[in-house]
Amino acid sequence: MASPAPAPHTLADFALAAEQALDAATWAYFNGGAGDEATLHANAAAWQALPLWPRVLQPLAGGHTRVALAGHELAHPILLAPVAHQRLAHPDGEWASALAAAAQGAGYVLGTQSNVPMEQVAEAVLADPGRGPLWFQLYWQADRGFNRALVQRAEAAGFEAIVLTVDAPVQGVRDRERRAGFALPPGVHAVHLQDAPAVPPADGTYCAGLPAHAPTWDDVAWLRAQTRLPVWLKGVLHPQDARRAQQLGVAGLIVSNHGGRTLDTAPPTAQALPRVRAAAGDALPIVVDGGIRRGTDVLKAIALGANAVMVGRPVAHALAAGGALGVARMLRLLRDELEMAMALTGCRTLAEAGAHLLDPATAAVWEQAGPR
């Protein structure tokens, strides 16, 4: 009788277990990037390349991982990013990952391309007093009326913010996925887009006319006027875009390169984050994703100016490896690693995490100014 597989102890363990559980084409879909996958690999490498400088003999009594984000206090700064088609990983799909997020006090962002209706997800988690924020991610559709209806549906279901993805006017050139011959199997579809109007034809052949229907800054202003919910922008890397978004009054920014799935050779998010923070100033909330696989990565993101982080692919990995319990364990592991990294760098709270953890030359300036 074969012995049971050992429980995953790291996010990398979950990835190995998921690769064994999924067919090759589905694995390529969840894990592939654009082009030569330079950005995909650079995301994780950039976090790993940043050294954390330990501090010793610091007072640590009463420490915690709580953070403030968009007017709410979170138990910890980890959210689950919108990941499409989660029933490819597990039959319970987004319902399972949302339940796990609520159980672990993590924020949850449901994707437009969910396989589970938003109402079912909201019903499963809204009553949980320990849950994190519940947001709905919007992929812009060609018809404004359909976008309005989708946002109003999210409002009615109890979602608390709209996350507009702005970095994918067209799909990236995902070679690994194409080589594997990936296609959605029967029974797996984007339930929120079943009634979406067909994209009207556009003149010219530039990306088959798709960019003609991509969102613009005017559409962001329009969207803000259609909903009482705060609107976040996901996919901002350039400082000038951060300034423009702030001028339009968005609720916050998510520094993201779509997990390396759109523009290959785009900068890793660890490199973009401090530039976006400098452009936006201290007041605008910023979340970052892309390659975060360790609690040390979470701490580095906070030190570079993020208020919180998101993880995406690890959700699919943990779902495939263990369903809702797998996702809950993945989140707990990441949080435990964060707590240990905080203690070993002398941070009682995340408010004490700053650039001095990454560059000792800034320590004197930091200690003079005090935590941000």
Active site residues: 258
Helix (H, G, I), strand (E, B) or coil at 193: helix
- Measured in whole angstroms, the distance separating CA 146 from the mean position of its chain's CA atoms is 24
Token pair recorded at residue 164: 């507009």
Residue 252 forms beta bridges with which residues?
Answer: 232
Q: What is the distance between the alpha carbons of residues 70 and 107, in angstroms, rounded to a whole number?
A: 12
> H helices of the chain, where?
11-21, 24-31, 38-49, 93-103, 118-125, 144-157, 175-179, 217-226, 239-247, 269-280, 295-303, 313-344, 363-369
Q: What is the distance between the alpha carbons of residues 237 and 267, in angstroms, rounded to a whole number?
A: 8
Q: What is the distance between the alpha carbons of residues 305 and 34, in angstroms, rounded to a whole number?
A: 27
Cβ-contact 89, 67 below 8 angstroms: no
Residue 141 forms beta bridges with which residues?
Answer: none
Cα distances from 164 to residues 10, 251, 289, in angstroms, run: 31, 11, 15
Q: What is the distance between the alpha carbons of residues 106 and 108, in angstroms, rounded to a whole number?
A: 6
